[in-house]
Amino acid sequence: MRYQAPANDLRFLLFDVLGADKLHHLEKYADATPDLISAVIDEAGKLAADVIQPTNQVGDREGCQYDPETRSVTTPEAFKEAYRTFVEGGWTALDAPLEFGGQGLPHTLKFVVDEMVCSTNLSLGMYPGLTHGAISALHAHGSETLKQTYLEKLISGEWTGTMCLTEPQCGTDLGMIRTRATPNDDGSYNIEGTKIWITGGEHDLVDNIVHLVLAKLPGAPDTTKGISLFVVPKFLPDSGERNAAFCGGLEHKMGIKGSATCVMNFEGARGWLVGEANDGMRAMFTMMNEARLMVGMQGLGLAEMAYQESLGFARERLQSRSLSGPKNPQGPADPILVHPDVRRMLMRQKVMNEGMRALALFTGHQLDLSVAHPDEEIRESADNLVQLLTPVVKAFLTDEGYNNANWGLQVLGGSGFTQDWPLEQLVRDGRIARIYEGTNGIQAMDLVGRKLALKGGQLVRTLFGVLTGYLKDQPEAPFREELKSAIKSLEQATAWLATNAPKDPEQAGAAATPYLRLMALTVIGYLWSRMAGVARKKLENSEENAPLLEAKQVSAQFYFEKLLPEIQWLLTDIQSGKSSMMAFSDDHWAA
Amino acid sequence: MRYQAPANDLRFLLFDVLGADKLHHLEKYADATPDLISAVIDEAGKLAADVIQPTNQVGDREGCQYDPETRSVTTPEAFKEAYRTFVEGGWTALDAPLEFGGQGLPHTLKFVVDEMVCSTNLSLGMYPGLTHGAISALHAHGSETLKQTYLEKLISGEWTGTMCLTEPQCGTDLGMIRTRATPNDDGSYNIEGTKIWITGGEHDLVDNIVHLVLAKLPGAPDTTKGISLFVVPKFLPDSGERNAAFCGGLEHKMGIKGSATCVMNFEGARGWLVGEANDGMRAMFTMMNEARLMVGMQGLGLAEMAYQESLGFARERLQSRSLSGPKNPQGPADPILVHPDVRRMLMRQKVMNEGMRALALFTGHQLDLSVAHPDEEIRESADNLVQLLTPVVKAFLTDEGYNNANWGLQVLGGSGFTQDWPLEQLVRDGRIARIYEGTNGIQAMDLVGRKLALKGGQLVRTLFGVLTGYLKDQPEAPFREELKSAIKSLEQATAWLATNAPKDPEQAGAAATPYLRLMALTVIGYLWSRMAGVARKKLENSEENAPLLEAKQVSAQFYFEKLLPEIQWLLTDIQSGKSSMMAFSDDHWAA
């Protein structure tokens, strides 16, 4: 089935709901007129369907190959031309800084393109995806020399980048890394150590790979405060000399088999410090926060493709008669789309996907405002929302993206379990998104342990300002009472944390995962109310685009009646606290 | 990690909670003394760990191979000896009828063994698993000649059996089958047609394969009332002649790669009618209901293994410090088991797994009472519960087994996504259990559309009798108020269905999936209250087995505080009805 980019939904969301049609009023985004944004949506949609999608299944079957002789990695054959087309179209440069050859377009557009790429080939999307984080880290923290040396070629896609964080003994707890950096006389460093699970650590799509590597300087403290970031190119840009950064092997994985996940051995490779010594975590978080938002779009992208596939199947597959009388009397049976329980699965996918898209693009829009709005107060408020919602987007969109891909598979029944259909690959590929760039449990801890406390609680107060401001401004808001009650639940949960977490941080840990979900469902509820309200208003004036506008109202009803009520459960869970989780001693677990 | 059969939990559940220690008071099960049951548990546990588990990963890697020349299927090399050991131990005969060489033991024990086999190799377990259904169908519906011809060798495991239902154009809607049976002069039938997704349709573990095939007689009605069941052996038992039942190929699947899933072509094969003409659906349901209970145990079995693996990982993996101060001060970090969010995932697995085990064995025990109790009223009441709970066990244990396997994978983080650990295989293998033997949506429809209406509602009234009887008899029942409120929710949902479904069957379809979940959570709540009550009482008298008894009480608390409250959400969903699900017309879905 050919991928159909959700262009109509994107335009509705960006222009009619979020106000991205006004981005071009900001100096930084003067080029981003609605026409241009619309053209990007359409072109990216075509690229995804025509160039990227055909590489997805073959990439999964072929996988990546490692040659221990040359320590090189071969990517699936079809990836090479697709990557070249992607690069030639300028897609790697979309929101990258103008001064290094980027197009300087709004980040929201990057979100849009990420979704489409991940709908059609997550593995392929990982190569430019990680590069983007490397670009941002170098741009934000690198010296002028480093920027001049690397940025242009990374932005053009001629080179790719990596994030080298994890080691065998540590993933989450980066204070435990053992990779060492010792200064050379010429200002460079000698990097020794082993990194694992390095996406795109070695591959054959480009001539050079630029590793961003966390390592410890001699005498550095044995915590995250002793970590520095280094740039370690595969080939030294000045001399072309092969650097001692070698792939030691590939991981064999459940999915994303076209993405080269490498063990990387730094055998006295030369590296250059990015930013200040012992300040690597800050630069790392520049990459990480970006990567988290991108991973959220991966969850959504896979779920969107699963929805399209399962909808198509449900329309074609004839099985049993409708409970309200035959709908296809000439055929041997009705399409399964008529059955309520099949509709439940499809509605669940559609409504949650569109809600997740709204949450992601709301966050993306705030990111654009945070860097480009002339009013400092608006910039700060937007930045508060982005910081708060980044872990929410990452965790919720990947958990629910995975769930929705599974619902898509379920619509297909036995066919979904066979490799004749793409659903099983979507499920396998999507499983990792709940894990990498910080497991979703870590995202939840970031939210309750860090983001809620930042600026004395200002981030979450900004969110509550948005939510209650909406209720105040919109007395006729659709599903107003349901939304009000959700906001109240989020307030109660936040108050519970404010009371209990300072006395006992384990209470925050116990509440983290349901609290993140509660926040996600509430913010999406706010966005569904807005979408339904805009749709209602537009329909009052014109029949244009009526199917989408009618669908939005029904979808909002489904959301408020069947999905949002989960918050009651989450609040009960949170308020019951840690005691049942922390009571076990060692001998209880396997008793 | 070596599999540890949950023997202590099984003994607690069977003897202390469910009363299976009294099964031997029934004439039919006079041999099933507590000592014998206990010995079966221990021996099955050893078999699973020593013989079956070592075949699991290699079976996944090797898969099944099809040779188009000979139309034969090769199973993974390691399966042959494991299957032989399984057969020689008499495990295929456990609860089979004595008169054909079976051991005639209680069905509950079959449930116990099924769980262990599926924990250690689901693919291998499918071969004897499907055979068991064929035995039951032949025993219940076959002529004396058919029974004499087939049962002994199927029960001994010398031959295996299949269920040939699905065809390319129909799975759920069996009225649409096209396979034809035309009478021969000698009383046999000529079978022509193609069946797909036939587990064990062709393989090399045994000398003969006995297919039970749904087909239509000439002039039979074009509905499920026109279906007949035939036995079609691969080799004719009298002459040894090769019958024209050939494998046309294997499915390539997401998981259970060691299970041969075959396209079967019946090219004028000879078959013999089982039961009456046009009465095949009844015999089919004998197989199907058994298979559904077995598939439920598959979900639980995989989840149990995932729990054991993830608990082991969480105890070994050192990462970050406990939020309440170092717990492993000599080491570089604490085991991740100390972190509340990791404990949330492990508790969720343990508590839900034990609850599912309780639900399954409660149902298994009722099955034994329904066939063996001298009191007709008790037999009928037990049969009511088995009929009602069969779709609940199938759907809930496979949905939650899959969820729990995914939580297990999540505990491992990135390691869980690699093939170096068994978690990703458990997730892949478990995905099919939500689909085969009737998708979980079909189970929910069976519950609300069929089981609730049977005997004028007597099945669900029997269940409510058990639930409210418990509350009445046990004024000190642990978590009594929470349980009472859950039962009330189930009553409200049942009343809602009784009011709305007769007027509009789509309302039943819309409510089906959340209603099944609501029933499962409520019955498991009842069982957790019973388990906690028994544990409390036993602890008052003795310190024996204290870790398990203490753990049961904490686990019940976790269940009532953090899992059962989902029912509020489910009830809201049910009561909001079908309107948001059925409002879309064709142009809304992809608007």
Is the CB of A346 less than 8 angstroms away from the CB of B589? yes
Q: Which residues of B are catalytic?
A: 437
Query: Is pLDDT at B59 greater than 90 in this prediction?
Result: yes
Question: Which letter, b or e, does each residue of B561-574 get, where b requires 16 or more Cβ atoms within 10 Å of its Cβ?
Answer: bbbbbbbbbbbbbb
Whole-number Å distance between alpha carbons of B127 and B259 = 8
Is the CB of B444 less than 8 angstroms away from the CB of A417? no
Digit-coded pLDDT (tens) for A114-146? 999 999 999 999 999 999 999 999 999 999 999
User: For B175-260, where are the E strands, in sequence order?
Assistant: 180-183, 189-199, 208-215, 228-233, 245-250
CB atoms within 10 A of CB B143: 14
Q: Which of B437, B433, B91, B77 is nearest to B258 (CA)?
A: B77
Q: Which residues of A are catalytic?
A: 437
Whole-number Å distance between alpha carbons of A298 and A303 = 8
Is the CB of B589 less than 8 angstroms away from the CB of A311? yes
Partner-chain residue, chosen from B176, B512, B588, that has the shortest CB–CB distance to A333: B176
Query: Inter-axis angle of helices B376-411 and B458-473, to 10 degrees?
Result: 80
Is the CB of B436 less than 8 angstroms away from the CB of A427? no
Amino acid (one-letter) located at B240: G
A-chain residues near B172 (CB < 8 A): 319-320, 413
Long-range contacts of B4-8 (CB under 8 A, 24+ apart): B4/A590, B4/B45, B4/B49, B4/B308, B5/B41, B5/B42, B5/B44, B5/B45, B5/B46, B5/B48, B5/B49, B5/B116, B5/B119, B6/B115, B6/B304, B6/B357, B7/B41, B7/B42, B7/B45, B8/A591, B8/B545, B8/B548
A-chain residues near B251 (CB < 8 A): 418
Q: Which of B66, B71, B265, B252 is nearest to B168 (CA)?
A: B265
DSSP letter at B324 equals T
| Region for B334 from its dihedrals, namely left if φ exceeds 0, alpha if ψ lies in -120 to 50, beta otherwise | beta
- Site from A254, A550, A571 to mutate, B interface, most B CB atoms within 10 angstroms: A254
Cα separation values, A500 from A448, A509, A574, A583, B558, Å: 12, 11, 11, 18, 19
3-class DSSP state of A89? coil
Minimal C-alpha gap between B396 and chain A (Å): 14
Whole-number Å distance between alpha carbons of B97 and B115 = 21
Kind and range of the H or E run holding B73: strand B72-74
Minimal C-alpha gap between A188 and chain B (Å): 30
Cα separation values, B543 from A589, B532, B546, B548, Å: 17, 15, 5, 10
A-chain residues near B544 (CB < 8 A): none
* Residues contacting residue B99 through CB under 8 Å, at least 6 positions apart: none
- Site from B176, B222, B323 to mutate, A interface, most A CB atoms within 10 angstroms: B323
Is the CB of A253 less than 8 angstroms away from the CB of B417? yes
Residue A494 phi/psi, 5-degree rounding, is -65, -40
Percent of chain B with pLDDT over 90: 98
Minimal C-alpha gap between A9 and chain B (Å): 8
What is the pLDDT at residue B40? Answer: 98
Digit-coded pLDDT (tens) for B499-546? 999 999 999 999 999 999 999 999 999 999 999 999 999 999 999 999
Partner-chain residue, chosen from A4, A548, A576, that has the shortest CB–CB distance to B562: A576
Query: Is pLDDT at B222 greater than 90 in this prediction?
Result: no
Amino acid (one-letter) located at A584: F
Q: What is the dihedral of CA B430, B435, B441, B442, to 10 degrees?
A: -140
DSSP letter at A235 equals B
A-chain residues near B500 (CB < 8 A): none
pLDDT per residue of chain A (591 residues) written in tens, 0 to 9? 999 999 999 999 999 999 999 999 999 999 999 999 999 999 999 999 999 999 999 999 999 999 999 999 999 999 999 999 999 999 999 999 999 999 999 999 999 999 999 999 999 999 999 999 999 999 999 999 999 999 999 999 999 999 999 999 999 899 999 999 999 999 999 999 999 999 999 999 999 999 999 999 999 998 899 999 999 999 999 999 999 999 999 999 999 999 999 999 999 999 999 999 999 999 988 889 999 999 999 999 999 999 999 999 999 999 999 999 999 999 999 999 999 999 999 999 999 999 999 999 999 999 999 999 999 999 999 999 999 999 999 999 999 999 999 999 999 999 999 999 999 999 999 999 999 999 999 999 999 999 999 999 999 999 999 999 999 999 999 999 999 999 999 999 999 999 999 999 999 999 999 999 999 999 999 999 999 999 999 999 999 999 999 999 999 999 999 999 999 999 999 999 999 999 999 999 999
Whole-number Å distance between alpha carbons of B299 and B115 = 8
Partner-chain residue, chosen from B4, B409, B505, that has the shortest CB–CB distance to A323: B505
Closest residue on chain A to B423 (Cα): A254
CA A475 to chain centre: 34
- Site from B256, B543, B584, B586 to mutate, A interface, most A CB atoms within 10 angstroms: B584
Is the CB of B581 less than 8 angstroms away from the CB of A255? no
Whole-number Å distance between alpha carbons of B524 and A561 = 26
Sign of CA dihedral B19, B25, B26, B28: positive
Closest residue on chain B to A573 (Cα): B562
CA A384 to chain centre: 18
What is the pLDDT at residue A222? Answer: 86
CB atoms within 10 A of CB A416: 30
Mean pLDDT of chain B: 97
Minimal C-alpha gap between A300 and chain B (Å): 16
Whole-number Å distance between alpha carbons of B374 and A491 = 59
- Do residues A409 and A417 touch, judged by C-beta distance below 8 A? yes
B572 — pLDDT class (breaks 50, 70, 90): very high
* Residues contacting residue A45 through CB under 8 Å, at least 6 positions apart: A3, A4, A5, A7, A116
Is the CB of A340 less than 8 angstroms away from the CB of B510? yes
- A285-575: CATH superfamily: Butyryl-CoA Dehydrogenase, subunit A, domain 3 (1.20.140.10)
- Site from B553, B581, B582, B585 to mutate, A interface, most A CB atoms within 10 angstroms: B581
Beta strands A72-74 and B180-183, pairing class: unpaired
- Site from A550, A569, A571 to mutate, B interface, most B CB atoms within 10 angstroms: A569
Whole-number Å distance between alpha carbons of A116 and A6 = 9
A-chain residues near B509 (CB < 8 A): 323, 339-341
Kind and range of the H or E run holding B125: helix B122-141
Cα separation values, B369 from B39, B106, B199, Å: 21, 9, 31
Minimal C-alpha gap between A156 and chain B (Å): 30
CA A386 to chain centre: 13
Minimal C-alpha gap between A263 and chain B (Å): 13
3-class DSSP state of B292? helix
| Region for B157 from its dihedrals, namely left if φ exceeds 0, alpha if ψ lies in -120 to 50, beta otherwise | left
Is the CB of B323 less than 8 angstroms away from the CB of A508? yes
Cα separation values, B396 from A505, A528, B461, Å: 34, 30, 21
Whole-number Å distance between alpha carbons of A57 and A76 = 10
Is the CB of B417 less than 8 angstroms away from the CB of A432? yes
Is the CB of A344 less than 8 angstroms away from the CB of B510? yes
* Residue tagged 């890697």 (tokens): B61
B569 — pLDDT class (breaks 50, 70, 90): very high
Whole-number Å distance between alpha carbons of B268 and B181 = 9
Is the CB of B509 less than 8 angstroms away from the CB of A576? no
Query: Is pLDDT at B201 greater than 90 in this prediction?
Result: yes
Digit-coded pLDDT (tens) for B75-110? 999 999 999 999 999 999 999 999 999 999 999 999
Q: Which of B263, B275, B172, B193 is nearest to B231 (CA)?
A: B275
Question: Which letter, b or e, does each residue of A475-505 get, where b requires 16 or more Cβ atoms within 10 Å of its Cβ?
Answer: eebbbbebbbbbbebbeebbebbeebbeeeb
Is the CB of B323 less than 8 angstroms away from the CB of A509? yes
CB pairs under 8 A between A and B: 264
Closest residue on chain B to A316 (Cα): B169
Whole-number Å distance between alpha carbons of A153 and A183 = 26
A-chain residues near B323 (CB < 8 A): 505-506, 508-509
- Do residues A262 and A249 touch, judged by C-beta distance below 8 A? yes
Closest residue on chain A to B564 (Cα): A569
Is the CB of B439 less than 8 angstroms away from the CB of A410? yes
Is the CB of B576 less than 8 angstroms away from the CB of A561? yes
Q: Which of A482, A449, A451, A452 is nearest to A467 (CA)?
A: A482
Partner-chain residue, chosen from B341, B432, B439, that has the shortest CB–CB distance to A512: B341
